Chains A and B, each alone.
Chain A
């Protein structure tokens, strides 16, 4: 009888458990843990417009899981932000960050429509984190899924600023590439796969007699559901499809499809006209849009006839960045694109200066250092460049330099005109110390490696990320392998670099909250570049120099570490996610400043971030700390 009673008690929880099992991360949790969670939940109701949680309610004391309805975040004072605020829907939870750090939420969470939320008290939330690794993971580590959400928010925020002309407002009907490919539920899997293969498409829709979609099978599913599952491919396709695919009408704008994709993690959206399938729009269809603008812009740059024109095109680069942010382009992609366009622009500036002032008689290479050398330029980047020239038989080295310096000065000034401010540290090709032959560069680098004073180390962090922009690559490649050979054998130098790198600690406090700057200029702010990115950049550079990796980009270096088994692939994935997130935050911040007509900087106030961003940022800093721990282990510091 006792057994039967337990069974009956468990049955009473079934409706709640059934709800939880439909949503991540609860669906992934152990049965016992879901049972525990279900047994602790209470349901409450908020009518449309009522606040569920807000900063004035004091430290968060319960987790809310939306059962049904929609909840919007809005900043406590900002009426104007109401439009672009983020939104949570059924199955989503809040405010995890505030709960974890026992602080009030930063934003008012308001029910947009009549909403039912489950409540989980703080102590039960803590218990669940302690007993369920999946839930713990979800709350503290699942950067990837959080990043998806953050990107959705970035998109939502940027989307409002993007003009009517952007393709993201285009109706889906204009994006449909071809007639939809579909089959019936009883079609053998084999035939469906053959169709995918033959037509070179990514998805097939399973429809009923009325052409209404029943499900979707994508190439992505083939691996897990058919190949690895050893599925009999003569079975009907209905056994392996994703049911009830997401859909929109032909008039829905492209960004709505992008949001659906980001929210559901599906790469395909069906387009239905009066319930009938008329097409499929894939992620690739949406994001190919931005390449149009990209291709034409880079063409315009390479053809520009004056520095003034280039200056205008530099503005277009910024507009493109905004558009890509709105379209949810990946940060790495965006940074690479900015760098690629800036490279084009620099080359065109040099060509124009050669035309105007005459081409120098010696062979030279234009070098980029620092962030440009690492392919990591954002909207706010000053110049870091130099020249490597070949000695001429007719002139002394100093005479050649005298010829090159005024020419380099013209280039530096023209770049300044195009929006790349002159380097305050005078790391520019027009500085005689930065206009050297290969041998002179080697001599200069040797002095730093052997000397190892703080100033030498600082210079090494800027100059050792060099890369050719204009001219022949060969002498630059030689210089790089020389540097790698030398640093690989100079453990003393690397050790000092490591010491130097570890001085810059991620701004995490003992209680896992942020340490903000105490300076008068930027109180309560974190310098995302110095405190956020530099630990990754320095750590990756050290690993690269120590292991003979010739990549100069931070992400390229980290990936090479994974390939060469210097770091675990899983560690590298987490580092890359963390790094790209901080970059995203930085680009977003600079973009916001630019739209507001302010000069861009890297200072972000954590208190002004929404809780999701705060949580991810903290996790990202923890990843930086991990990388530093690895460095100090390697060099026994």
Chain B
């Protein structure tokens, strides 16, 4: 158990193997924010939960995909469905499409999370309404791993209106943007489909960022942040 977790986390006893993997993650050096966008690596993330309240509902699945050197590595996607002791209510299944059978066939949450961190390393995480995904992941991490693993997040809900002000979608949904750019999604709300849709939006935004003279990861993060503050 790390010092950090002992001081701030809930007390959770982890098997040493998992503990070692978390420590290995902590050793990873994050890339500089000065990296050029054309060379940068991002990880597009989408979580599925048992409801719409990130502070109360359970994590059902994590989907993620690398986006590196301007390409979405759709062939090397990451998806983990988390084992549930109680299956989620019926109406929600209609949204995320994970059947009760699949939920009980998932893997334990601590394993899913560690594998996710190993997949995501310390790259910038990208999501639409990132605050939701961030809260869910942080809460689950604290609950099952008893710790906090810090990440930089890039919220496309901020970046998209910042780069396309002419779209006049300051509070648009992911669907609004997908519709605007004509991105077809076969079945929305499966974690992987949502990840790819978000990833495609990110590809468009990177293309636009280049045209608007943004060069580095840091500049992109600042652009999103400025947009966020502009409507507080």
Contact = CB atoms under 8 A, between A and B. Distances in A.
A39 B200 contact: no
Interface residues of B, number: 32
B184 A15 contact: no
A90 B84 CA distance: 39
Contact of A15 (B76, B81, B106, B192): B192
Interface string B53-73: 000000000010000001111
Nearest to B77: A12
A276 to B, nearest CB: 26
Contacts of A566: none
Contact of B72 (A13, A44, A114): A44
A12 B63 contact: yes
Contacts of B79: 8-9, 11-12
B203 A15 contact: no
B7 interface: no
Q: Interface extent on A, as a size class?
A: 20 to 34
A41 interface: yes
A44 B76 contact: no
Nearest to B70: A44
A131 interface: no
A68 interface: yes
Contacts of B17: none
B75 interface: yes
Given A8-B81, A15-B192, A39 B71 contact: no
A5 interface: yes
B75 A41 contact: yes
Nearest to A40: B75
A119 interface: yes
A116 interface: yes
A42 to B, nearest CB: 4
A470 interface: no
A12 B63 CA distance: 8
A199 interface: no
Given A12-B63, A12-B79, A68-B184, A42 B192 contact: no
A43 B72 contact: yes
**Which of A4, A5, A42, A68 neighbours the largest number of chain B CB atoms within 10 Å of its CB?**
A42
A68 B183 contact: yes
A39 B72 CA distance: 12
Contacts of A41: 74-75
Interface in A41-80: 41-47, 68
A14 interface: yes
Contact of B77 (A4, A13, A19): A13
A47 B205 CA distance: 11
A11 B79 CA distance: 7
Contacts of A11: 79, 81, 192
Nearest to A113: B182
Contact of A45 (B63, B80, B81, B204): B204
Interface in B167-219: 181-184, 186, 190, 192-193, 196, 199-200, 203-204, 206-208
A16 interface: yes
B128 interface: no
B100 interface: no
B153 interface: no
A15 B208 CA distance: 26
A114 B184 CA distance: 12
A1 interface: yes
Contact of A39 (B76, B81, B183, B203): B76
A15 B207 CA distance: 23
B192 to A, nearest CB: 5
B107 interface: yes
B74 A43 contact: yes
B30 interface: no
Q: Which of A38, A45, A116 has the most CB of B within 10 A?
A: A45
Contacts of B81: 8, 11
Contacts of B203: 43-45, 116
A39 B73 CA distance: 9
A95 to B, nearest CB: 18
A114 B63 contact: no
Given A5-B107, A8-B107, A114-B181, A47 B207 contact: yes
Contacts of A18: 186
Contacts of B106: 4
A49 to B, nearest CB: 11
Contacts of B186: 15, 18-19
B220 to A, nearest CB: 16
Contact of A44 (B71, B183, B184): B71
B133 to A, nearest CB: 17
Given A43-B199, A114-B181, A119 B105 contact: no
Contacts of A14: 190, 192
Contact of A8 (B74, B80, B196, B199): B80
B42 interface: no
Contacts of B78: 12
Nearest to A5: B107
B75 A13 contact: yes
Query: Which among B63, B74, B79, B80 has the greatest number of chain A C-beta atoms within 10 A?
Result: B74
A118 interface: yes
Most buried by B among A12, A38, A68, A119: A12
Nearest to B193: A15
A283 to B, nearest CB: 29
Contact of B107 (A1, A40, A42, A114): A1
B71 A43 contact: yes
B196 A15 contact: yes
Q: Which of A1, A44, A47, A114 has the most CB of B within 10 A?
A: A44
B210 to A, nearest CB: 10
Contact of B74 (A5, A42, A114): A42
Contacts of B74: 15-16, 38, 41-43, 118
A598 to B, nearest CB: 44
A13 to B, nearest CB: 7
A10 to B, nearest CB: 9
A4 B105 contact: yes
Nearest to A18: B186
Interface in A134-172: none
Contacts of A118: 74
A4 B186 CA distance: 24
A119 B71 contact: yes
B66 to A, nearest CB: 9
Contacts of B199: 43
B76 A45 contact: no
A9 B76 CA distance: 9
A42 B72 contact: yes
A39 B77 CA distance: 8
A8 B76 CA distance: 12
B143 to A, nearest CB: 21
Interface in A326-371: none
Nearest to A50: B207
A585 B190 CA distance: 49
Contacts of B76: 39
Contacts of A45: 200, 203-204, 206-207
A205 B55 CA distance: 53
A38 B74 CA distance: 8
Given A15-B74, A40-B75, A43-B71, 20 more contacts: A1-B107, A4-B107, A8-B80, A8-B81, A8-B107, A12-B63, A12-B79, A14-B190, A14-B192, A15-B192, A15-B196, A19-B186, A38-B74, A42-B71, A43-B72, A43-B73, A43-B74, A47-B207, A47-B208, A68-B184
17 contacts: A9-B79, A13-B77, A14-B192, A15-B74, A15-B192, A16-B75, A16-B196, A18-B186, A39-B75, A40-B75, A42-B74, A43-B71, A43-B73, A43-B196, A43-B203, A47-B207, A114-B182
Q: Give 4 closest A-B pairs by Cβ, nearest first.
A: A45-B203, A12-B77, A12-B79, A42-B71
